[in-house]
Amino acid sequence: MTEAKPVSGTNLQKISDRYSESERLLSEARRYLAAGVSSNARLVGKRPPLFITHAQGSALIDANGNRYIDYVIGLGPMILGHRAEAIETAILESLAIGQVFGGQSSLEAQLAARIVDLVPCAELVRFTNTGTEADLLAVRLARAFTGRPKIIKFEGHYHGWGDGLAVSIKPPFVQADLRNSVQTHPESLGMTPSSYEDVNVLPWNDLDAIDAYLNWQGQTVAGVIMEPVMCNNGVITPSPGYLEKVRELCTACGALLIFDEVITGFRLAPGGAQERLGVIPDLAIFGKALAAGVPMGCVAGRADVMDMLTQGVMHGGTYSGNVTGLSVGLATLEQTCTLGGQALKTLDSMGNQLIERLEESLKRHRIAGQVQGYGAHFGLLFAPRERRILNFQDLRLVDRSAGDEFVAKMLDVGVRITSRASYFLSTAHTSSNIQDTAEAADAILAEMARQK
């Protein structure tokens, strides 16, 4: 497959023609699939969900034959790009071993040992199939270990779609003076209040809020769970000193600090955000880049907490620790985390080049916008540069319609970014990809500026 390049201009092809096959296939799929998709996240945006025929490296081709530079890469898992040779080899070799034994494989201990070696908080590991499962297990472990009921989570942070944690992910905006009076907002119909009654929601990046709560109710809190970088809503980074202070507060009141590193793990550094940012939680949750596209998750953390799995905490999973997932996990970490994580440093550097180019374009075309995150994963927010976005409620300042327009126009010219205008880099992205993407974004931002 040749390298994907953006097409010049959007008038070469009518939008309805460009996505006609995806539209047709979606209509056909709706006859058999609920909403025509297997995840509601794929229905978001101004363009139809793409039906992909094949992919390789940083490139995707859709049912209409359109070619894209792909910065979605499966919403993060494809850290090595699509169809990486090392991953295909690991999958084929795993087929000669078997898949699910209902018993143990030595691969489990091998991959767990690698994770313990890389991740600062990891003393013991338990494998799951998904990040959602790992989140639910981490919360169960925290409650069992502490004997306390309450969990603190933060507005805008995503910890899977399970009833016990799927609250206040995208809640309504409230008045600024009510920020410390956060209401727990269920994200779905079908959730009963009893399923999340012991989950308390706070604004993130707000030390006063969590300090006040833990000083008031700290002895009832089992754990504080957060994305160490708020990846699922804008890729918002923690303020200087925030994670360190939350770590201190949790230690002081005996609550466990839980990092959801499903996105940041094995992406921001071999040891995840906790290595890069220098704050070590008690438990951490991993997925996505752990196994380069094969379903795999895990909880890793302190041995005394993880030992609760031998003292009455139930966790099961027919497919947990399946041979293919373990084989691919070992192959992925071999590619990304050896030589001090040089591969991750390289993709991070390329992403930083793209961040710099985007910031230059925003400034040149006098468009209100800010880029947050790290080279490996970052987001573009159409909001005034003078005030940094710190948490979910600050997203009220973001021009969402401009973001939606930018995402759609980038797709029209062959650059695929997430519906929230964020970018995932992979080791398959090239300097040419970065150059072409920057030029496409600059042309679109210039057009948007003219249309103001």
Residues annotated catalytic, as ranges:
158, 260, 288
CA atoms within 13 A on the CB side of 380: 32
Classify residue 188 by burial, with Cβ atoms within 10 Å: 0-12, 13-18, 19+. Answer: exposed
**Class of residue 17 by CB neighbours under 10 A (exposed 0-12, middle 13-18, buried 19+):** exposed
232 in Cβ contact with 377 (< 8 Å): no
DSSP for residue 49? P
Strand segments, DSSP code E, in 166-227 are: 199-202, 221-226
What single DSSP character describes residue 424?
E
Q: What per-residue string of b and e applies to 237-262 under the rule 16 or more CB within 10 Å gives b?
A: bbeeebbeebbebbeebebbbbbbbb
The edge-to-edge listing of strands for the beta sheet with 124-128 is 124-128, 297-301, 283-286, 256-260, 221-226, 150-154, 199-202
**Cα–Cα–Cα angle for 59, 62, 66, rounded to 5 degrees:** 75
Residue 266 and residue 263: Cα distance in Å, rounded? 8
| In the block, residue with structure tokens 């708020």 | 230
Angle between helices 431-450 and 400-412 in degrees, nearest 10 = 130
DSSP 8-class letter at 34 = G
Half-sphere exposure of 362 (CA within 13 A, CB side): 19
What is the SS3 assignment for 128? strand
Rounded Cα distance between 330 and 341, Å, is: 14
- Listed residue (450, 249, 245) closest to 366, CA to CA: 450
Q: Can you tell me the distance from the alpha carbon of 49 to that of 25, in angstroms, rounded to the nearest whole number?
A: 10
Beta bridge partners of 286: 298
Burial of 278 (0-12, 13-18, 19+ CB in 10 A): exposed
